[in-house]
Amino acid sequence: MTMQIRTEGGVERVRSWAADIEENTMEQALRSARCDAVSGPVALMADAHFGLGATVGSVIPTGDAIIPAAVGVDIGCGMIAVETNVSAHHLPDNLGPILRGIGKAIPSGFDRHQHATKAADQWSGAHPLQTTVSLTTKQQRTISQQLGSLGGGNHFVEVCIDERDVVWAGLHSGSRGIGSILAKAHIEGARTLCRDLERALEDRDLAYFLQSDDGFQAYVADMLWAQDYALENREQMMNALLRVLRHCLDGPVRGVSRINCHHNYTERETHDGVEQWITRKGAIRAAAGDRGVIPGSMGTNSYIVTGRGNPAAYMSAAHGAGRRFGRKEAKRRFTTEQFAASMEGRTWQRSKAESLLDEAPMAYKDIEMVMAAQADLVSIDHELHAVVNYRGA
């Protein structure tokens, strides 16, 4: 797809790769682009859809400011994928034990480890959270207990096979409860600051901190810590997943390559010779040579990609298929029978179809269309077909 440009009053506001986009999504992106904190056009990825404050699937440049709600409440949410040394023929005919093994090894939903794992304690000890946000004793204890856990919603674990019949392990998760606590506290702090300083906002969720503001450095410190926590969370779950595969395949399953990438985060980058904050909300970095993971929905394929470094998109790409229908709308539109039919050929939590209905593949956009629309942003290395899908119910 050719990049589309939206202007207002002769000013370039939005660059869009979205071939299938709702009008309210574009209106939201334009609101973000008009925010005084934003320093250039907003880039909309091919999977863009309406979100809280800022559009999911948007890349937002801010020179000396950060919009906490644009980073999102699940700071550092992202994907990890591991190419293994085993092939499809090594997998057992019955994949049920792998699905059940994942459920036992990786806490999901509201669950967490009853006691922090040794790996979690080691990481937490080496990376203490020093925050201005007030935390209860229970919340502080949960930091280590939730490290290595999946969460719910659209977070998942998969075992996949690529076009070469190579087995891959992949999962999607973020910074869990602690990331949400930190994010919500700073989002409210930015709202209060903008209100007190009478900064004009079209949407209060576009509230921002300037680098000169009280609260800016505190947010950055917590945000960077939460991004590191999310990366480590995925690493620990992936290690657990590989142990499940070793047990079920009764062999030396090991990783050949590993990709761990955020798609809800911000970092300081240089574009067009200008150093600025680049916030990717539902987008991955796709600089030339960057490897990334772009998942589809439960019933569709995922992709291992390499970035092309397109400067117009701030060297970014889509983070997935993107929702077409909200969770409540999906449950109204679709039946569990339709859901089950769309999951044919995969081993999944069929008994939980009703509670997982809002994650049915029909609730998402066409991942193949998304990939075609961003051919100038990434090249496809491998296409992954899931044979096991475990969702955080």
Supply φ then ψ for residue 89, to 5 degrees. Answer: -70, -15
Please report whether residue 343 resides in a domain: no
pLDDT one-digit tens code per residue, 6-63: 999 999 999 999 988 999 999 999 999 999 999 999 999 999 999 987 999 999 999 9
- Domain CATH number, residue 93: 3.90.1860.10
Please report whether residue 188 resides in a domain: yes
Nearest 5 degrees, angle CA 278-CA 149-CA 260?
A: 40
Q: What is the structure's pLDDT at 53?
A: 76
**Alpha helix stretches (DSSP H) within the chain:** 23-34, 68-71, 96-105, 118-126, 137-146, 176-196, 216-249, 327-333, 336-342, 367-373
Please report whether residue 334 resides in a domain: no
Note if 319 is an active site residue. Answer: yes
DSSP letters, 184-236, are HHHHHHHHHHHHHTT---SSGGG--EETTSTTHHHHHHHHHHHHHHHHHHHHH
pLDDT one-digit tens code per residue, 260-306: 999 999 999 999 999 999 999 999 999 999 999 999 999 999 999 99
Q: Are 193 and 185 in contact (CB under 8 A)?
A: no
Positions in the chain whose pLDDT score sits under 50 = none
Q: What is the structure's pLDDT at 1?
A: 63
Domain that holds residue 301: 4-324+364-391
Catalytic residue among 172, 263, 319, 382: 319
pTM: 0.96
The radius of gyration of the chain's CA atoms, rounded to the nearest angstrom, is 20
Please report whether residue 114 resides in a domain: yes
Beta bridge partners of 65: 210
Give the number of domains in the chain.
Answer: 1
Please report whether residue 346 resides in a domain: no
Please report whether residue 332 resides in a domain: no
Residues 6+ positions from 188 with CB-CB distance below 8 Å: none
CA distance 234 to 150: 8
What six digits make up the tokens of 80? 């990890």
Please report whether residue 308 resides in a domain: yes
Q: What is the structure's pLDDT at 184?
A: 97
Q: What is the structure's pLDDT at 19?
A: 82
